């Protein structure tokens, strides 16, 4: 299972790399939100796969985190996680106020999303690298 979990992390890393390339572009903050969600989702699914051997097809970060925390301690800003989760669909499709619930995501908020995403990803990498199953 460790090999499959590492594959999920390879794809999560691509989301991080994408964010790093676009983080300073104000008109791409919705894309930053999308890739933040994707990186966290893949990271959580890597841990779930490592522990249970299977991955569910859900995208809700709060539900995924609920499963993860049964097996692994993570230092998570739950309010930030909830915000990232809420912007997932709205970051992909137009809405009345723009692409996000409250209009466009600010550059500062996009950077906060990126920092939280990076922190979660690093914790997951450490757990998987130290797991010898």
**Domain spans of the chain, in order of start:** 2-130
Cα-atom radius of gyration of the chain, to the nearest Å? Answer: 15
The per-residue pLDDT for range 52-83, each reduced to its tens digit, is: 999 989 999 999 999 999 999 999 999 999 99
DSSP-assigned beta bridge partners for residue 95:
98
> pLDDT tens, 70-123?
999 999 999 999 999 988 665 455 554 445 555 678 999 999 999 999 999 999
Phi-psi region of 26 (alpha: psi -120 to 50; beta: other; left: phi over 0): alpha
Nearest 5°: CA angle at 50, between 48 and 56? Answer: 35
Taking residue 132's Cβ as centre, other Cβ atoms within 10 Å add up to: 5
Half-sphere exposure for 114 (CA within 13 Å, toward CB):
22
Q: Report whether CATH 3.90.1640.20 matches the domain 2-130.
A: no
pTM here is: 0.90
């Amino acid at each position: 299972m460790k090999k499959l979990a590492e594959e999920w992390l390879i794809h999560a890393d691509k989301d991080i790399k994408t964010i790093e390339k676009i983080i300073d572009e104000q008109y791409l903050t919705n894309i930053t939100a999308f890739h933040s969600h994707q990186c966290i989702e893949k990271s959580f699914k890597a841990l779930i796969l490592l522990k249970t051997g299977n991955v569910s097809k859900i995208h809700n970060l709060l539900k995924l985190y609920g499963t993860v925390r049964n097996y692994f301690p993570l230092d998570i800003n739950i309010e930030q996680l909830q915000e990232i989760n809420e912007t997932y669909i709205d970051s992909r499709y137009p809405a009345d106020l723009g692409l996000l619930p409250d209009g466009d995501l600010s550059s500062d908020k996009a950077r906060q999303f990126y920092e939280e995403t990076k922190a979660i990803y690093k914790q997951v990498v450490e757990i998987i690298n130290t797991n010898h199953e």
